A = this chain, B = another copy of it.
Amino acid sequence: MPQFLNIQEPGFEAAFAAFLTTKREDAPDVDEAVAGIIADVRVRGDLAVIELTAKFDRLELTPETLAFSAEEIEAECGKVGAEDHAALELAAARIRDYHKRQMPKDESWVDEAGAMLGWRWGPVSAAGLYVPGGLASYPSSVLMNAIPAKVAGVERLAICVPTPDGIANPLVLLAARISGVDRVYRIGGAQAIAALAYGTESIEPVDKITGPGNAFVAAAKRRVFGKVGIDMIAGPSEILVIADKDNDPDWIAVDLLSQAEHDESAQSILITDDAEFGRAVAKAVEARLQTLERRAIAAPSWRDFGAVITVRNLDEAATLSDRIAPEHLELCVNDPDALCEKINHAGAIFLGQWTPEAIGDYVGGPNHVLPTARSARFSSGLSVMDFLKRTTLSKMTPEALAAIGPAAETLAKSEGLEAHGLSVRARLDRINKEL
C-alpha cells in the first residue's frame, strides 16, 4: 500500500517531512573499483578497455572493432520496422525543433564610458554520450542527449553503448544515426567513461560526457568531472500528479504507473483536493497492477514509495509541490495554466489531462533528462546549454579606461594586489602624459 496523507490530519507536517527525506536508493560503493578501472585505462588504453569488455560483457574486441563499422550500423538499422522507424523520425524532428529555439544569442554593446562589453556562445568541440545496455537501453535517451549536442554545434559526437554478448539494439543505432552521431563504440561501464575522458589509441577523448548509467558509470563520471564536463548524476525517476476529481481515475493510475514501472526506486505521488478521488485512483492502480507487464517493478515502487496526499485546495497542492520539487509534474485540473503560475520548482510541467507525462518522454519536444531528487530547486533539465559555453568580452578605449580604471586601481590596492593596480596605472600614466 502507498502512503495516504491528509493535510488536515494532526501529524501531517511530520509525516510529510519524513516522506520528503525518505532515501529511495542505496547506491553500492564501487568508487574504489572504478578508480582502479580508470587508472588502468589511462595506462594501458585500448588493451585495458578490450580486456574489461571481455570480462564484463563477454565480448572479444580488437582495436579495429571497438567501434561499429558503417556497414554494421547499416545492417542493424535495417532490422528496424517501418512503424518504429517513423516514430523515431517524428520524435527526432520534434526534439530538434524544440531545442533549436533554446539557442542563446551573442550580445555586445558599447556603454556610456565607451567600453565594448558582451559575450559569445560556442559549442564544446567534442561530446560523448553514454547509453546503458540491456533492459534500460533506450533509443529515446539517444535522441534526448544527442540532438541537443548537434543543435548546439558539437562537431564530434561519440556514443558508448555496451553490447553484452555482442547483442546490439538496432533502435539505439538507428536513433544514433538519425541524431547525427559520428561514432558508436560497443563498450560500457567505467572503462567507457575513462576512454571518453582520457582517450586511448583508438578512442579520441571528448570534452563533455552526458547520459545515464549504473553505479559504476555514475562513479566514473564523478571521478572524471573536472577533466571533462558532465551532466547531472540522475537518481531514480519521479512523478507528481496534481489532479482534481474531474479526471478518470484510470488515466491518473497509468500516469503514476508510467514512472513506477521504470525502477523499484521510482516514486509516484498523487496530490488531490478530493480524498475519495484519491482512493479511486489507488484502486485503479491496484487493478492495473494485476496485468501490467512490469508489475514486478511497478508494484514495489508504488507500495514502498508511492503516496496519495489529500489537500483542502490547489494552493496547498502548489505549496507541497514546491517542497517536493518534482522531476515531472502533471497538472490535471480545470485551469492548469492558473495552477502552473503558482509552481516555482519542477523539472517539467505537463498541463491538463490531455498531456500524459509519457508524451514528454518521447515526442513532446522538451528534453526528458530532468533533475531528480528535489534538485529542480536549483537545476534544470538537459538542453543545448549543456553543450555550449560562454566567453565574456571586454574592450576598453583610452577614454573608457580613464573613466573606470582609477576605481579598479583603488580596489586592487584595497585587496593588496599591487600588480593588478600597476597594470591599470601604467596605461593611465600614458593617457595622462599624452593629454
Contact = CB atoms under 8 A, between A and B. Distances in A.
B207 A377 contact: yes
Nearest to A252: B423
A203 interface: no
Contacts of A24: none
A47 interface: no
A395 B394 CA distance: 42
Contacts of A258: 417, 419-420, 422-423
Q: Give the interface residue-count category, chain A.
A: 35 or more
Interface stretch (A49-57, A185-193, A305-313, A397-405): A397-405
A426 interface: yes
Interface string A102-143: 101001010100011101001011000000000100111000
Contacts of A87: 406-408, 410-411, 414
Given A292-B418, A356-B424, A376-B389, A363 B404 contact: yes
A373 B254 CA distance: 48
Contact of A84 (B116, B414, B430): B414
A3 interface: no
Nearest to A431: B354
Interface in A73-106: 83-84, 86-88, 90-91, 94, 97-98, 101-102, 104
A391 B347 CA distance: 5
Given A94-B404, A117-B98, A419-B292, A389 B378 contact: yes
Contact of A362 (B349, B367, B408): B408
Given A228-B378, A346-B391, A400-B354, A140 B411 contact: yes
Interface of A: 83-84, 86-88, 90-91, 94, 97-98, 101-102, 104, 107, 109, 111, 115-117, 119, 122, 124-125, 135, 138-140, 171, 207-208, 226, 228-229, 233, 248, 250-251, 254-255, 257-258, 260-262, 288, 292-294, 298, 336, 340, 343-367, 370-371, 373, 375-381, 383, 385, 389-398, 400-401, 404-408, 410-412, 414-424, 426-427, 430
